[in-house]
Structure 1
Amino acid sequence: MSGHHGFQFRELRVEGPGVEPATLPFGPGLNVLSGASDTGKSYAVDCFNFVLGGKHPPRPVPESQGYDRVSVTIEAADGTRYRIERPLAGGDLRLFDLSRGDEGLALGARHADGEDTVSGFLLRLSGLSGRRVRKNALNKTQSLSFRNLVHLLLVDEEAIIRKGSPLHSGESTQKTAEASVFRLLLTGHDDSGLVESKKPVIARAELDAQDALLEQLIGEFEADLARLTDRPEDLGEQLDRLDRAVAEGEEALHSLRRDYVEQDERRREVWTRLSQATGRQAEVEALLERFEVLDAQYRTDLDRLEAVAEAGGAFLLLETDRCPLCGAAAGEHTHDGVPADADVVTLAAACRKEAAKIELLRGELIATVGDLQDERRSLAEAVQELRAEYAKAEAELAESLAPAVAQAQVSHRALMERRSDVKEAISLHERLVGLRQRRLSIEEARGDVGATADVRPEMPPAALSAFAGHVKTLLEAWRFPDADPVWFDEREQDLVIGNRRRGSQGKGLRALSHSAFTLGLMNTCLAAGHPHPGFVILDSPLLNFRPPKAGEVEESDTGAEPLGEEVKQLFYASLATLPADRQVIIIENVDPAAELRAHMTSEIFTKTSVDRYGFFPRGAGGLAGEPVETVT
């Protein structure tokens, strides 16, 4: 398909469990479903209407027994294919995007704004989503539904011969909306800009209610304003003064907060230094305690070494004698664990040497202890000074800066509250002025109630002329009798063909002119680039045509027009040249000529073993039939 809007049918399918599906294929341009009566052609039309959101399912026929759902495959203008499926028992529908193979989206059968419905989906494809149409003489509008369009797209065998205008579906309550839909399609503009008029009684009642409400509001606002000020005329000057005072207060408060922060930083710095000094004090005290223990250990070691050295000297002064153990002379033998005399001298020397080392270490320890004691005294003085400095900083914050900041905040808040009251009073005063002006407007509006003129949008003459031209082109191609001139009568909202109203013609001519109306509307919209679904379905447009019999005298509404078989084939021939951006589906008893079938998608129901039996497979619904023969 080409174009930006619209869609076309590619298949109609009726299915059921355990039965062979009944299907019909469709292509771009002309599609003709023709053949004998009672073969399912009208059932197919009902299926189209039902799957497009119609209330009533197709009328059951014996062949439809066992089938429980109907679906259509459509192709949008962008090439995307969808399947819309609906149970034959009725209810909501289901939409499948065939390009994604999804599980389907439920679509409501009734049109509703903001909900997923079949109407909303088809309107989006047609480029008509969100449009509004006029529904009554007071210019009340309603959301456009796809069902508002169906009678201009799908014309069944009863509607196609109706005397009334093809513009209308036959429901009297919908005439205004249907005329608005016709205008929307021809012009591309909807009625969303219309202003709804009200009945005089309702309009006066609404004005009285508005006036009473305004009077009540004015009284309440005046009381609130009196509570805030007794001089409304000075409010602007008061606000200027308060703005300046608030600005000065904010600057002072900012300065005080900055001083507070700086003083708090100094206090934190002193606290950090104090914490470091007291920590070092604890370390020094711990070191002094440990060094005192170490010095005591040094002294003990020195005493022990001195005792060992003195004991060795005393041992050497003892008289020598023979060994009480072995009787050997002293100095001539040794025993395990008993030192020789010379070893005692060596031991004493070693004790003195070790004592000298300990004395050296002890001297270093004494010097270190002295340094630590000096540091302890310095730290004690520093801690005392830091504590005094911290106490001073703390007092500055608590006794001076904090109260000053708090007082500045209170003053600033009071100014802000006062300024808010003045602003509220100014707003109340302005609203009072507006409400009083609205009361004056209501008084003026009371005098205009009932004088509103009908502001129905008119059909542009150029659009009507273009539409009539497309209809005339079709009628002339079909050799419709007396097809000049062709024009649209806005008062009757119907075509006038050859100075004769379309509704006064016989059934056969009414069917043909109804077809021209519907097809001409589609051609006009697409030629002008206006939104249109892009398809038309016509049921039995040629059924009432027959060649004139010899000597026959025609009456105006006998239904017999002097139109021969030639007109019927010209009808098919003109539509066989349709461009691919539009689709026409004809359901008819009259078959197209064999030479034309190559230029269309054609299905002929024979109700015999030759070609296709009917819409449903032969034998569907449990009906017995003749054996199916294969024809080459």
Structure 2
Amino acid sequence: MSTEGFFISEIRLTGKNKRNASIVLKKGLNVISGASDTGKTYIFQLINYMFGGKDEPKEIDESIGYSTIFIELEKYEGESYTLKREIGDSSIFVYESKIDDISFLQNCVKLKAKHDKDDKDNISTFLLSLTGIKDMLLRKNARGTKVSFSFRNLVALMMLNEEKIISEEVPIFSGIPSNRTTELSAFKTILTGVDDSHGEEIEDPKIYRTRLEGKLEFVSSLLQKLKMELKEKGAQIQDYDANELTKEIEKLMSTLSNNSKEINLRMGQKKEIWIQEQEIKSRILMLEELLERFRLLEKSYLSDLDRLQFLIEGDHYISQLFDSNCPVCNNPFNSKITEHNHDFYLEDLQIACSEESNKINAQLIDLRETLTNLQNENKENNEKVKLLSQQIKEIEVIIQRELKPVAVLTKERMDNLLNIKKIFQEIELNERRIAEYQTSQLDIMRELSKKNQKMKFVNEITTEIYDDFATEVKELLDGWNYPDLTSVSIDYDDQELIVSGKKRKNHGKGYRAILNAAFVIAIMKYTRSIGLKHPGLIILDSPLTTYKERLNPTTLSSSEEDISLDMKQAFFKNLSKLRNDVQVIIFENIDPIKEVQDNMNYIHFSKVIGVGRYGFIPVDNVSESVSNNFIQ
């Protein structure tokens, strides 16, 4: 079973130099009875005002001088809160304590009295949080516009004043046509636990029509522009056939591909020849360096031969010297002295020089042969380089004069044809877009010709839920000894109760009051039984006494309006058996019998000075058993 929700534990009215007016309430059934003009309806108005009502409690003579309202709420789970509001103020203060525990320095939260979905600091959001409801949305109108679920939507299902209790309107409706969709949505949300946050929504007809007209103008402008473009592009391709164009492009692409392959082939050949040329040039450089070295070696050989030849021919020159000395032993050269002081003799020198000269001559012959070979190779290599250079030039000529011009011309032709083909594609695309825009244009025009669109909502309350709810109503009426009760059902279209085959609104005021009371109490019992969200609080003003009876209690009304005393007492007795997870507060002129009073929280206003409690607000100079604690 759900324990969410709250009940009222005390209502207190204070004013400067005024005794506190207070009543203490409990879980279960609370009956405040007594004569008219004792403040019962005033208490009802105080509660409604503290629950975010915009109407201040109607001023009565006894209320003059009172300015501050306190309501102590207690969650069924245990926490206590006190609401405080100055009459005429748009703010409500919330204390996390009981009324008597409020201290001067205690922190409190200031809340706006009016619900605001964009600002959570309001009494509606706070009370909804105590009920376990958060961020629910309701349908506002036939277009599916959403509004935030407010605690005032719940108040309409849990508080019936003395006018609403006898109204011909189903209790969930206020009678204001513009509010009917929202009120039905709130009823559905409470009975099913599912709000309308995921429902579709149609925008305002005027805004919708203006948007459609703007869209039509935009689409028409696009159509005109596309048709002009289509005409211009058609003139550009009038000399071309799309199929022939495709064939020619394919042919040019093949030519360009072959040309590219030929150029790549020639470039490959050129690269191979260039590599050979570079290798031969490298060889030529190496050979020229060798030739230069060998020529230097040849000069060295020739110089050595000249020196040796000079030594060989030295005897001839020495013999012509008369007073010369031997360069070795310094003895004079003459015929008389034939011995010298050394082992060296000119004849040996001549022989050695001849042998060395012969050896150098042999090396010189080899060297000159090598030089000749290298020069010949170098000459051949230079010829090869010239040949290879010529081949490279010939390849470059073929590429530059034959292949590249073909490629350039082919590419230019192909680019031109591709541009023409692109125009064909753009024309095809524009034709499709024109067809789409024309379809869209017709759709918009048809939409504009329609009447204002309305959402067709399916009632999400299933027949099973309706039947279970009707069963709760019937159980209450059975417990209240409702006469000739045979069946209870709900009209799915107008949410009307049908009791024993007769619609609720077709009964007299007395029975309508009973049926309206049963309707709202059944909502609470049904939601509590299956764990749905509900404050667990019902407040009824005069469900057993019609306005006519209150004006003239000695005059009985017609039989249709007259509720038997047995039924009235059965009403009290049945509700006195309510569970402790709900609270029902009833303001009545009729007193429950003594044996039933013991099973409820019963408060009686006598309207007789000196007899019990006169009324809600203390009468001056009269001692009454009421709480006189002042709130600082």
Shorter-chain TM-score bucket reads 0.5 to 0.7
What residue is the counterpart of 2:581 in the other structure? 581
Q: Deviations over 1:296-355 (max 9, x none)?
A: xxxxxxxxxxxxxxxxxxxxxxxxxxxxxxxxxxxxxxxxxxxxxxxxxxxxxxxxxxxx
Distance in 1, Cα, partners of 2:434 & 2:196: 34
Distance in 2, Cα, partners of 1:83 & 1:437: 68
Q: Deviations over 1:91-147 (max 9, x none)?
A: 221111118964211111111113211111111111222111111111111111111
> 2:576 corresponds to which letter in structure 1?
A
What residue is the counterpart of 2:302 in the other structure? none
Identity of aligned residues (%): 33
What residue is the counterpart of 1:154 in the other structure? 159
Instruction: Map 1:418-433 onto structure 2 (within 5 A).
Output: none
| Partners of 1:482 and 1:497 within 8 A in 2 | no
> 155-164 or 589-598, which moves further after superposition?
589-598
Distance in 2, Cα, partners of 1:492 & 1:564: 29
Aligned-pair distance for 1:587? 0.6
> 47-56 or 164-173, which moves further after superposition?
164-173
What residue is the counterpart of 2:571 in the other structure? 571
Does residue 456 (structure 1) correspond to residue 457 (structure 2)? The answer is yes
CA 1:445/1:158 → structure 2, altered by over 3 Å: closer, same or farther?
Answer: same
> 1:530 corresponds to which letter in structure 2?
L
What residue is the counterpart of 1:525 in the other structure? 527
Distance in 1, Cα, partners of 2:213 & 2:8: 56
**2:501 aligned to which of 496, 499, 502:** 499
Specify the SS of the correspondent of 2:58: coil
> 1:606 corresponds to which letter in structure 2?
S
Instruction: Map 1:328-343 onto structure 2 (within 5 A).
Output: none
Distance in 1, Cα, partners of 2:435 & 2:46: 60
Distance in 1, Cα, partners of 2:167 & 2:506: 10
Q: Deviations over 1:135-179 (max 9, x none)?
A: 111111111111122121111111101111112123222111101
> 518-527 or 609-618, which moves further after superposition?
609-618
Q: Which ranges of structure 2 fall in alignment gaps of 5 or more residues? A: 226-428, 627-632
> 1:112 corresponds to which letter in structure 2?
D
What residue is the counterpart of 2:55 in the other structure? 56
> 1:103 corresponds to which letter in structure 2?
N
> 2:177 corresponds to which letter in structure 1?
S
Aligned-pair distance for 1:78? 2.9
Instruction: Map 1:241-320 onto structure 2 (within 5 A).
Output: none
Distance in 1, Cα, partners of 2:614 & 2:469: 40
Aligned-pair distance for 1:584? 0.4
> 2:538 corresponds to which letter in structure 1?
V
| Partners of 2:81 and 2:96 within 8 A in 1 | yes
What residue is the counterpart of 1:184 in the other structure? 189
Does residue 89 (structure 1) correspond to residue 88 (structure 2)? The answer is yes
| Partners of 2:612 and 2:624 within 8 A in 1 | no
Instruction: Map 1:63-462 onto structure 2 (within 5 A).
Output: 63-98=62-97, 102-115=106-119, 116-198=121-203, 202-210=207-215, 446=444, 450=450, 454-458=455-459, 459-462=461-464
> 1:578 corresponds to which letter in structure 2?
L
CA 1:540/1:513 → structure 2, altered by over 3 Å: closer, same or farther?
Answer: same
CA 1:442/1:134 → structure 2, altered by over 3 Å: closer, same or farther?
Answer: farther
CA 1:438/1:466 → structure 2, altered by over 3 Å: closer, same or farther?
Answer: farther
Q: Deviations over 1:76-95 (max 9, x none)?
A: 24321111111112322111
> 2:462 corresponds to which letter in structure 1?
P
Distance in 2, Cα, partners of 1:127 & 1:438: 51
Aligned-pair distance for 1:208? 4.4
Aligned-pair distance for 1:492? 2.7
Tell me the TM-score normalized by structure 1: 0.59
| Partners of 1:166 and 1:494 within 8 A in 2 | no
**1:515 aligned to which of 514, 517, 520:** 517
Q: Which ranges of structure 1 fall in alignment gaps of 5 or more residues? A: 220-431
Distance in 2, Cα, partners of 1:166 & 1:441: 50
What residue is the counterpart of 1:612 in the other structure? 613
> 2:73 corresponds to which letter in structure 1?
I
Aligned-pair distance for 1:555? 6.0
Distance in 2, Cα, partners of 1:125 & 1:438: 55
What residue is the counterpart of 1:481 in the other structure? 483
Specify the SS of the correspondent of 1:32: strand
> 2:195 corresponds to which letter in structure 1?
D
Does residue 6 (structure 1) correspond to residue 11 (structure 2)? The answer is no
CA 1:195/1:65 → structure 2, altered by over 3 Å: closer, same or farther?
Answer: same
Specify the SS of the correspondent of 2:138: strand
| Partners of 1:57 and 1:90 within 8 A in 2 | no
Q: Deviations over 1:218-258 (max 9, x none)?
A: 99xxxxxxxxxxxxxxxxxxxxxxxxxxxxxxxxxxxxxxx
The structure whose Rg is larger is 2
Distance in 2, Cα, partners of 1:522 & 1:587: 18
Q: Deviations over 1:505-524 (max 9, x none)?
A: 11110110110001011111
Specify the SS of the correspondent of 2:598: helix
| Partners of 2:143 and 2:454 within 8 A in 1 | no
| Partners of 1:13 and 1:21 within 8 A in 2 | yes
What residue is the counterpart of 1:285 in the other structure? none
Distance in 2, Cα, partners of 1:26 & 1:188: 29
CA 1:466/1:441 → structure 2, altered by over 3 Å: closer, same or farther?
Answer: farther
| Partners of 1:35 and 1:590 within 8 A in 2 | yes
CA 1:436/1:588 → structure 2, altered by over 3 Å: closer, same or farther?
Answer: farther
Specify the SS of the correspondent of 2:115: coil
Question: How many residues of Structure 1 are paired with residues of Structure 2 in the alignment?
Answer: 407
| Partners of 1:3 and 1:77 within 8 A in 2 | no
What residue is the counterpart of 2:602 in the other structure? 602
| Partners of 1:576 and 1:596 within 8 A in 2 | yes
Aligned-pair distance for 1:469? 0.6
CA 1:98/1:628 → structure 2, altered by over 3 Å: closer, same or farther?
Answer: closer
| Partners of 1:167 and 1:494 within 8 A in 2 | no
| Partners of 1:5 and 1:126 within 8 A in 2 | yes
CA 1:84/1:438 → structure 2, altered by over 3 Å: closer, same or farther?
Answer: farther
> 2:516 corresponds to which letter in structure 1?
H
Distance in 1, Cα, partners of 2:128 & 2:438: 45
Distance in 1, Cα, partners of 2:23 & 2:456: 47
Aligned-pair distance for 1:482? 3.0
Distance in 1, Cα, partners of 2:508 & 2:75: 38
Distance in 1, Cα, partners of 2:157 & 2:624: 39
> 1:479 corresponds to which letter in structure 2?
N
| Partners of 2:135 and 2:148 within 8 A in 1 | yes
| Partners of 2:3 and 2:581 within 8 A in 1 | no
Distance in 1, Cα, partners of 2:71 & 2:153: 20
Distance in 1, Cα, partners of 2:436 & 2:536: 50
**2:492 aligned to which of 490, 493, 509:** 490
Distance in 1, Cα, partners of 2:435 & 2:533: 45
Does residue 590 (structure 1) correspond to residue 590 (structure 2)? The answer is yes
Specify the SS of the correspondent of 1:44: helix
Distance in 2, Cα, partners of 1:217 & 1:68: 68
RMSD (CA atoms): 3.3
> 2:23 corresponds to which letter in structure 1?
L
Specify the SS of the correspondent of 2:602: strand
Specify the SS of the correspondent of 2:157: coil
Q: Deviations over 1:434-463 (max 9, x none)?
A: x99996995585356749674313121111
Specify the SS of the correspondent of 1:89: coil
Q: Deviations over 1:359-394 (max 9, x none)?
A: xxxxxxxxxxxxxxxxxxxxxxxxxxxxxxxxxxxx
Distance in 2, Cα, partners of 1:576 & 1:119: 30
Q: Deviations over 1:391-421 (max 9, x none)?
A: xxxxxxxxxxxxxxxxxxxxxxxxxxxxxxx
